[in-house]
Amino acid sequence: MIYIVTLNPSIDYLMSPKTLSLGITNRSEEEQIRIGGKGINVGVVLNNLGQSSTCVGFLGGFTGNHIREELKKYPLLVDGFRDSKHPTRINIKLDYKGETEINGSGHPIDASLIEALSTFITTLKPEDFVVLTGSVASGMSYDWYVSVCEALDKQNIPFAVDVSSDKLIDMISYHPILIKPNQDEICAILGLQNENLSFERLLSESKKLIERGARNIIVSLGSQGSMLITDEACYRAYAPEGVLIDSVGAGDSMVAAFIYGYVNDYSLVDAYRLACAAGSATAFSDHLASFETIEKLKDKIIIERIDL
């Protein structure tokens, strides 16, 4: 089973105001309510690809109840959440002259619930796969993620990490199958200046994360596509042509599709191709990638090999 650790899920409230000014009442022309959080996005795309998975983490209150109801729409996505007794957070997404987000912090999680989740993870088997993705819950430290990575490595359980934290550099020493930082995150953890950073320098510096333990790295390059770095080669993929509608969840879709390929014995290149198609499928639509859209885009992904 694929277990997706989802510590800080959310309801995303998307609003599209025609104008936006501080200090006055603004009105939105269109609204949408979606369940969100990186882990839930990963689980939904896995479901759409026909892969079972279980989300584990914390939900509570009326917002948590809404998320549980929405999860029932995805028959292959199992609700393994624990009740936190507090309302799950709400994130505001504003579509006005670009995408602006105001993300809620949520309520602190009781220590006994965190301990119960940690204990559950120790019961997993090498045939399982764990995805660590998204922010930690309020009051938690990213050191918790590091301790989970250490435990998974000792248990020989494969895992992937998609976490925005300087603790990522500590997590990779426990040999994650995949990490997926963007260019800004790579620069932050390696102490690089992002401005005018060449592709060649970015590749050279990213290879250091392979040397420190990561098995595979997908680096998002925005409109310039992405690259996959392994211990043998680098592969660069270029985004297919399409109209950007909503980039929220595109990176999560890439993670989901790569993991789908990995657990189903795809080659790394084929798993990467599927990941690129899934990311684009989400970006080119107003919902997370569907199987049909992924299949349609898969053959349009151009991948070139760059020998290390």
Q: Which CATH number belongs to the domain containing residue 111 in this structure?
A: 3.40.1190.20
Cα–Cα distance measured from residue 233 to residue 265, given in angstroms and rounded to the nearest whole number? 19
Catalytic site residues?
Answer: 252
- Top mean pLDDT of 19-23, 103-107, 174-178, 287-291 is at 174-178
pLDDT higher than 70, residue 171: yes
pLDDT higher than 80, residue 90: yes
**Which pair of tokens denotes residue 118?**
């940690």
Residue 158 lies in a domain: yes
**What would the mean pLDDT of 102-116 be, rounded to a whole number?**
93
Residue 133 lies in a domain: yes
| Mean residue pLDDT across the chain | 93
3-class SS of residue 236: strand
Cα–Cα distance measured from residue 159 to residue 143, given in angstroms and rounded to the nearest whole number? 16
Cα–Cα distance measured from residue 274 to residue 176, given in angstroms and rounded to the nearest whole number? 19
Output the pTM of the full model.
0.92
Name which of 103, 109, 112, 152 is nearest 132 in CA terms: 152
Residue 22 lies in a domain: no
pLDDT higher than 90, residue 301: yes
Residue 23 lies in a domain: no
Residue 7 lies in a domain: yes
Q: Which range, of 68-77, 198-207, 270-279, averages the lowest pLDDT?
A: 198-207
**What would the mean pLDDT of 37-49 be, rounded to a whole number?**
97
pLDDT value for 201:
86
Instruction: Identify the domain containing residue 238 by its residue range.
Output: 2-17+28-307
Q: Estimate the crossing angle of helix 183-190 against helix 199-211, to 10 degrees.
A: 60
pLDDT band at 308 (very low <50, low <70, confident <90, very high): low
- Partnered with residue 78 across adjacent β-strands are 54
Number of structural domains (the chain) is 1
pLDDT value for 193:
79
Place of tokens 């729409």: 73
Phi and psi angles of residue 75, each rounded to the nearest 5 degrees, phi first: -65, -20
Residue 134 lies in a domain: yes
pLDDT band at 286 (very low <50, low <70, confident <90, very high): confident
3-class SS of residue 299: coil
Residue 218 lies in a domain: yes
